[in-house]
Amino acid sequence: MQTEINGIHALVPARWRSLDGIVGVHWDAEGHAGASGYYLSPDPRIMLFFNDVSDQIKVADREVDLGRGDRGLCRAIYVPAGVPMWTRFTKRHRFRHLDLHLHQDRLMRFLTPALGSSAARTALRQSVELQDPGPVATLGGLVADELSTATRHPAFAENLIGSIVTGLMDMTVDASESPAQTGRLTQAQMNRLSTHFSVNGEQRLSVSEMAALVGLSESWFATVFRQTTGKTPLQWQLSRRIEAARQLLDDEALSIAEIAAQYSFADQAHFTKVFRQFTGDTPAAWRKRRDRV
């Protein structure tokens, strides 16, 4: 693996373990503001972060995009073999992550029983980025424990990693389970939408832009999206923005007007109106009640 790292250092010695077609490494590290990294592996790679890094670490597919076209680094990513990655730190940050280097043949053994060899090879070529990895994060914690203690047979860690692979990879469903047949978006398509909004600060997208993200026409997307979520695309986006804004109300240093501006509401009055529609409270009342808890 080719790496060029500047301003990033391990806080404790890395814990690693070699398994059947897999090398797992558990890092506890820190990067300084302006730190950078370049990574290129001949093998597929999975990275699982145990704390949020999307604000502090930015990632790009090309070096020229750092600082202008980069995006927040998600908590769970799959990088196909031979795909380069550049990162930069916007501020000093400590992080823990699990790094899994997997031989391509080993990945095929994980995926082929469920997908068939052709679909498995397609999945191996698709990058995956998830801001909310769900149960995959729990599995990653168990694997990290195994790297530290190695008290069980290697098969235990290998099977945990197999579950991470099948839980993280963008596994294509067969035609009988496509949106055209079921009238619903797949979980992979919903993950793609959720991740986009998470790493871009919940900024608004048009219906056509959302449809393009999941590879559907605008008219068909609007139909299947409502059947999948019970909401229109606009309602779904608003609910996400209100939920994100509600979390920020716990920060007394931010005014309600500042929070409204951060999530692209026209002004504080507009934010208050929409917030009340979704929660039954004004932002000020919500903040005051939280203060009393």
Kindly provide the b/e burial profile for residues 239-248, where b requires at least 16 CB atoms within 10 angstroms of the residue's own CB. Answer: ebbbebbbeb
CATH 3.40.50.720 correct for 237-292: no
Which residue carries 């149960």 as its tokens?
Answer: 135
* Helix, strand or coil, per DSSP, at residue 261: helix
Dist CA 63 CA 79 (whole Å): 16
* One-letter amino acid for residue 146 of the chain: E
Dist CA 156 CA 82 (whole Å): 29
Q: Which two tokens stand for residue 266?
A: 């026209």
* One-letter amino acid for residue 167 of the chain: G
For 89, counting Cβ atoms within 10 Å of its Cβ (0-12 exposed, 13-18 middle, 19+ buried), the class is buried
Dist CA 162 CA 109 (whole Å): 9
Q: Which residues pair with 27 in a beta bridge?
A: 97
Q: Which two tokens stand for residue 113?
A: 């029983």
Q: Which residue has the higher pLDDT, 219 or 291?
A: 219
Q: At residue 20, does pLDDT exceed 90?
A: yes
**2-168 has which CATH code?**
2.60.120.10
Which residue carries 């929409």 as its tokens?
Answer: 274
Does an H or E element contain 224, and which?
Answer: helix 218-229
pLDDT in tens, 207-234: 988 988 887 888 888 888 988 888 999 9
Q: At residue 198, does pLDDT exceed 80?
A: no
pLDDT in tens, 53-91: 988 999 988 888 888 778 889 899 999 999 999 999 999
236-263: average pLDDT: 87
The 8-class DSSP code of residue 254 comes to: S
The total of other beta-carbon atoms located within 10 Å of residue 197's CB is 20
pLDDT grade for 13, boundaries at 50, 70 and 90: very high
The 8-class DSSP code of residue 178 comes to: S
Q: At residue 18, does pLDDT exceed 90?
A: yes
CA dihedral 132, 70, 33, 140 (to 10 degrees): 30
Q: How is the chain split into domains, by residue range?
A: 2-168, 175-230, 237-292
Structure confidence at residue 170 (pLDDT)? 60
For 30, counting Cβ atoms within 10 Å of its Cβ (0-12 exposed, 13-18 middle, 19+ buried), the class is middle
Closest CA to 59 of 89, 80, 81, 98: 89
pLDDT grade for 264, boundaries at 50, 70 and 90: confident
User: What is the percentage of the chain residues whose pLDDT exceeds 90?
Assistant: 42
